[in-house]
Amino acid sequence: MNKPLRRIAIFCGVLVLALLVRTNYLQYVRADELSTRDENRRVRIERYAHERGDIIVDGEPVTGSVETKSGDFKYKRVWKDGAMWAPVTGYSSQAFDASQIEKIEDGILTGNDDQLFFNRTMSMFTGEKKQGGNIVTTLSSAAQKAAFKGLGNRKGAVAAIDPQTGAILALVSTPSYDPSVFAGNSDADAKARQKLLNDKDKPMVNRALRETYPPGSTFKVVTAAAALENGLYTDIDAKTDSPLPWRLPQSTQDLDNEGNIPCENASLREALRWSCNTVFGKISDDLGNQKMMDTAGKFGFNQEIFTPVRSNASAYPKDNRPQNAMAGIGQASNRATPLQMAMVAAAIANDGKLMQPYMVDKRKAPNLDTIYTHKKEQFSQPLSGENAQKLQKMMETVVQDGTGKNAQIPGATVGGKTGTAQHGLNNSEKPYAWFISYAKTDKGSPVAVAVVVEDGEANRDDISGGGLAAPIAKAVMKAVIDKR
C-alpha cells in the first residue's frame, strides 16, 4: 500500500474508532443523564405510552390512567380523592414531571425499573402490552379520611404512625390540591398549575413533611425525656427545683406561665399536666444546650427523614442560655415538622424504641408478584424502656385529668400533650394549635399522632391545642383502633 492510501486508511480507522467511543460513551456513560433531561421529550412520551401502575391503599388503587384524545401522550394520570391523597402520592404530569411517591417509584409505576426486567423480557415473547407495577402503601384510608375531614377548611397537617413498625398511617396537609388538574399537557393544565403556585395559602406545600413550626408545649415531653435520661430527675411525682417566678438566665425577664397554675416546684407529672413553662424552661437550662441537642437528635431532630419522600429537618439549635431555655418549651428557634412530633409520640408509646418511618410497604410487578417487601428497622433509642413508661404515665395524666381531655377514647388508653405555639414578631401572629398523642389497647399501641392547626379565622383566645387539635387526633386514633 502506498503512503497516501495508508494515511487515508489510518485516518478512516481513527474516525471509526472515535465514532465507536462516542456511541458507547453516550449509550452507557451518559445514558441516565440524557434519559432524565427535561429536553428529552421521548422519555416523557414513553412514560405515558401505556397505563401507569397504581398506588394502593388498603388493597384499593387511589390512582388510575385514562386515555387522552389527542397529542403525543396516550395516557394521563388521574386520582381518586386527589386532594386527600396528594400529600402521599404527589403528582405525575405530562408537562411538569412528578413528585413524591409518583417520582421516587416512577421506575416501578412505568414498568421500566430493573426489578421488572424479567417481566419485560417475558412480555416480548408473550406479546402482552407493557404495564407498570403497583406500589402498596402503609396508609389507612380510614385514618386519612378522619384527618382530612378533621382539618376541613383550616390550614394544618396530620401525621400518624404505627409506633411498633414505623408504618405511616395518615399524612394530610391542608389546604391541598387535586393533581389531576395539571396532569396533562395543555394550556389549561399549565394555567391550573400556575394558579396553585400563586396561591398565598401554598396548597402544594406538604405541611406534614416540609413545613417546620415552633412545636410549643408539645416539645416539653422531649425536655422531660432529657431530664429523665440524664438523671436530673428520676421520680415523676417528686417535687422539682422550680421556683416561681423563675427568671430567664442572663436576662431581666421572668418566664411566665399561662395563667395562675400550680407550677412552683411542681413534679414532672403535674408540670406536664398543667404545661408549666417555668419547670421545663429551667430543666432545659439546668441540662444545658448540648444535652438538650443530644436528646432531640435521638428523636430525629437536626436531620432529614426519608419515608422514602424527604421530610425537612426539624431543628433544635445550638444556642445561648436564655434561648436554650425557651427552646426547651418549644419556642425560640426550635422548629419541628408534624412527622417529627409524631415520631416523638411514637417513640414514647413504643417503650423508648423509635422505628424508621416508611410509606411504601410493597412493590408489585404487573402480574402482581411481590418484588419488594419493606423490612422494619429501628431508627434510634431516644430513651430507656423504664423512662418511656414514666413518660407514658405523665402523658396519660394529661388526657385523663389535664389539658388533653378532648382526646379521650372509651375503651382505650390515650396519652397526649397539648401545645399552643407563639410565633411572629413579638408573638404578634395567631398561635399554632398542636396536639401529639398515642392510643393503646390490650393489643398494644397501634397509633401515634401529631396534629398542627393554623386557624386564621379563630379568635386568638380560642386557639389551643386541646380545643382545636386534640379532637382531630382523637378521630384519627379512633379510626385506626376501630379498623383493627
Q: What is the pLDDT of residues 317-369, one digit of tens each?
A: 999 999 999 999 999 999 999 999 999 999 999 999 999 999 999 999 888 88
Q: Quick one: CA torsion of 149, 422, 418, 161, rounded to 10 degrees?
A: 60
Residue 461 binned pLDDT confidence (cut-offs 50, 70, 90): very low
Q: How far apart are CA 226 and CA 287, in angstroms?
A: 8
Contact 11, 19 (CB under 8 A): no
User: Which region among 22-36, 92-106, 290-304 has the lowest average model confidence (pLDDT)?
Assistant: 22-36
pLDDT at 460: 40
Mean pLDDT of 109-115: 81
pLDDT at position 30, please? 64
- Domain locations in the chain as residue ranges: 216-359+377-483
| Residue 31 binned pLDDT confidence (cut-offs 50, 70, 90) | low
With a cut of 90, say whether residue 149 has pLDDT above it: yes
**Across all residues in the chain, what is the average pLDDT?**
90
Q: Which of 198, 117, 201, 126 is nearest to 157 (CA)?
A: 201
CATH number assigned to the domain with residue range 216-359+377-483, chosen from the 4 options 3.40.710.10, 3.40.50.20, 2.40.30.10, 3.90.1150.10:
3.40.710.10
Closest residue by Cα to residue 218 from 424, 435, 401, 470 = 435
Q: How far is Cα 328 from Cα 333, in angstroms, rounded to an integer?
A: 10
Is there a contact between 290 and 258 (Cβ–Cβ < 8 Å)?
Answer: no
Contact call for residues 398 and 408 (beta carbons, < 8 A): no
Which of 83-92, 116-125, 158-167, 214-223 is predicted with the least confidence, judged by mean pLDDT? 116-125
- pLDDT band of 450, cuts 50, 70, 90: very high
Q: Which of these is catalytic: 217, 314, 437, 445?
A: 217
Strand, helix or coil for residue 335: strand
Distances (CA, A) of 482 to 140, 143, 145, 412, 476: 12, 10, 13, 11, 10
Higher pLDDT, 424 or 151: 151
pLDDT top residue among 121 and 403: 403
User: Residue holding cell 411481590?
Assistant: 370
The DSSP bridge partners found for residue 378 are 355
Residue 55 has pLDDT above 70, yes or no: yes
Q: What is the DSSP code (8-state) at residue 256?
A: P
Are 362 and 58 in contact, with CB atoms under 8 Å apart?
A: no
Residue 447 above 70 pLDDT? Answer: yes
Residue 315, Cβ neighbours under 10 Å: how many?
A: 19
Percent of the chain with pLDDT over 90: 72
Predicted TM-score of the model (pTM): 0.89
The answer on pLDDT for 136 being more than 70 is yes
C-alpha triplet 190, 196, 201: angle, nearest 5°? 170
Predicted confidence band of residue 46 (pLDDT cuts 50, 70, 90):
confident
Q: Note whether 224 and 268 are within 8 A (CB).
A: yes
Give the residue-averaged pLDDT of 419-437: 78
Residue 35, pLDDT score: 60
Q: Which residues, at least 6 apart from 49, have a Cβ–Cβ distance to it below 8 Å?
A: 73, 74, 75, 130
Report the C-alpha gap between 207 and 337 in whole angstroms: 8
The arithmetic mean of pLDDT across residues 229-246, rounded, is: 97
In sequence order, the 6+-apart residues with CB closer than 8 A to the CB of 231 are none
Using CB atoms within 10 A of its CB, is residue 371 exposed (0-12), middle (13-18) or buried (19+)? Answer: middle
pLDDT band for position 459 (cuts 50, 70, 90): very low
Q: pLDDT band at residue 34, thresholds of 50, 70 and 90?
A: low
Of 120-129, 159-168, 323-332, 448-457, the poorest mean pLDDT is in 120-129
Contact 204, 196 (CB under 8 A): yes
445 is catalytic: no
